[in-house]
Structure 1
Amino acid sequence: MVELNNVEQAVPAPFHRRRPWTCCCLIFFFLIVLIAIIIVILAFTVFKPKKAEVSVEKVELLNFKSSLGGGLIPTPSINITLAVDLSLHNPNKASFKYSNSTAMVYYYDDEVAVVTIPAGAIGSDATKTMSVTFIMLADQLVTNSHLVNDFLAGSLPFTTRTKISGRVKVLFIKRHVDILSQCSVSISVVNASISNTDCENKVHL
């Protein structure tokens, strides 16, 4: 009788008693897979990092003073204040954070003005307007060998470059973003005005 009782205790539980637990595990597993698929689809569609959009709204000459000194070699004296208004649009579903950036003005290959753009952020699907003001003084220009000829010709060519670097993090995806805006600006000496402007904007993601 003792051996018979031991045999009865070793018999496994009926299969139908384990079925609810098996079904719960399967349902839980399929839910996890479904959620993972939804997250992946959203990450590569709705929440996929997109390129920011940049445009130059306005290039304005705020101040222009010039004169031509006497002597055997005439020396121009020029003070220029130039303003560039940028519009930055962040189309992502997360904010775009950028670090301290720089904006520069070149007269040919010479850097004649530098402005620091403080770090900041552009909210989700938001647009931010940014105004950069450059002040160019005579002593920054007179050393350039082209100045006298350009001054006598009546037109001064400048190039403005604004570079903003940052990153956007959407869900678990981080992407570095470089925004570059460059404008070629010609300033008329006679009319003290901007005679020509040609801008190019690039975004690298």
Structure 2
Amino acid sequence: MAAKGEPVYYSPLPPQPSEYHCQQPPPNQGRHYILLPPYHNRPSWFRSLWFQLCGASFVLLCVAIFFLWPSDPHISVVRLRLDHVRVHTSPLISLDISMPITVKIRNPDFFSLDYRSLVVAIGYRGKQLGFVTSHGGHLRARGSSYSQATLQLQGIQVHDVFHLLKDFARGSIPFETVTQVRGQLGLFFFDFPLKAKVSCEVIANTDNQTIVRQNCYTE
């Protein structure tokens, strides 16, 4: 032991284990807490069911988009006749023709279609002869409708008359038709604007006034 009044050069001994355990540390001193999120160990069947539900929802969404996505109406010329043919010789050789046309419009969608106008242009050998406009109408879902109009062709010149009369005598005339539809599609409480244009190569039979062959494509 050091004498009284001399400096002390050693540290006090730590307390005995029994004394250390009996002493309580000061509050909030020397305590550390770690917060961890709760862990839920879900069974394998639950995860499998979850993936199946997600896959089924995705498939149903794709099917709904496929059926509800708006499509252009299907347009075709079902009848085209040559009527009231008249030949003029003065001042030039020309031809007047009245041509009744019947157009079929089919709505492939699962919602209604309202069209305001239907315009059909007729061409022959790369030259447009004329066009006719028909009134609009209403088509229910997956429904069809027929629209009729008469095209008046006047003053067809001699070059076209020669080929037209030749095809007429042969029994079939090739025409080009361009059909345009304007309107709107009704989906639930909304209306979507619609504009469709279809071009067709039509072979008309002059004997029975029917369409022999028709090749159409959407523009």
Q: Normalized against structure 1, the TM-score is what? A: 0.56
SS at match of 2:121: strand
Q: Which residue of 2 aligns with 1:113?
A: 130
Computed over aligned residues only, the root mean square deviation of the Cα atoms, in angstroms, reads 5.0
How many positions carry a matched residue from both structures? Answer: 180
Per-residue CA deviations over 1:79-111 (Å, capped at 9, x if unaligned) read: 321111121212222456778664222243332
Q: Which residue of 2 aligns with 1:182?
A: 201
Q: Which residue of 2 aligns with 1:147?
A: 161
Q: Which residue of 1 aligns with 2:84?
A: 64
Which sections of structure 2, spanning at least 5 residues, go unmatched? 1-25, 42-48, 189-193
Q: Which residue of 2 aligns with 1:202?
A: 216
Q: Which residue of 1 aligns with 2:180?
A: 164
Q: 1:50 offset after TM fit, Å?
A: 5.9
Q: Normalized against structure 2, the TM-score is what? A: 0.53
d(CA) in 1 for partners of 2:200, 2:70: 20
- Given that 1:168 and 1:177 are in contact with CA atoms closer than 8 Å, whether structure 2 keeps it comes out as no
d(CA) in 1 for partners of 2:162, 2:63: 61
SS at match of 1:103: strand
Which sections of structure 1, spanning at least 5 residues, go unmatched? 20-26, 188-192
Identity of aligned pairs, percent? 12
Q: 1:162 offset after TM fit, Å?
A: 2.9
Q: Which residue of 2 aligns with 1:43?
A: 65
Report which of the two structures shows the higher radius of gyration computed on alpha carbons: 2
| Alpha-carbon spacing, 1:7–1:176, altered in 2? closer, same or farther (3 Å) | farther
- Corresponding residue to 1:81 among 98, 101, 106: 98
The residue identity in structure 1 corresponding to 2:159 is S
Per-residue CA deviations over 1:130-165 (Å, capped at 9, x if unaligned) read: 22321011x2x1x34242575589649461403336
SS at match of 2:110: coil
- Corresponding residue to 2:150 among 113, 124, 133: 133
- Given that 2:79 and 2:211 are in contact with CA atoms closer than 8 Å, whether structure 1 keeps it comes out as no
The residue identity in structure 2 corresponding to 1:181 is C
The residue identity in structure 2 corresponding to 1:64 is H
Q: Which residue of 2 aligns with 1:2?
A: 27
- Given that 1:104 and 1:113 are in contact with CA atoms closer than 8 Å, whether structure 2 keeps it comes out as yes
The residue identity in structure 2 corresponding to 1:185 is A
The structure whose RCO (Cα within 8 Å, separation 6+) is larger is 1
- Given that 1:54 and 1:88 are in contact with CA atoms closer than 8 Å, whether structure 2 keeps it comes out as yes
| Alpha-carbon spacing, 1:31–1:91, altered in 2? closer, same or farther (3 Å) | same
SS at match of 2:64: helix
Per-residue CA deviations over 1:28-49 (Å, capped at 9, x if unaligned) read: 99977754442124324x4466
Q: Which residue of 2 aligns with 1:22?
A: none
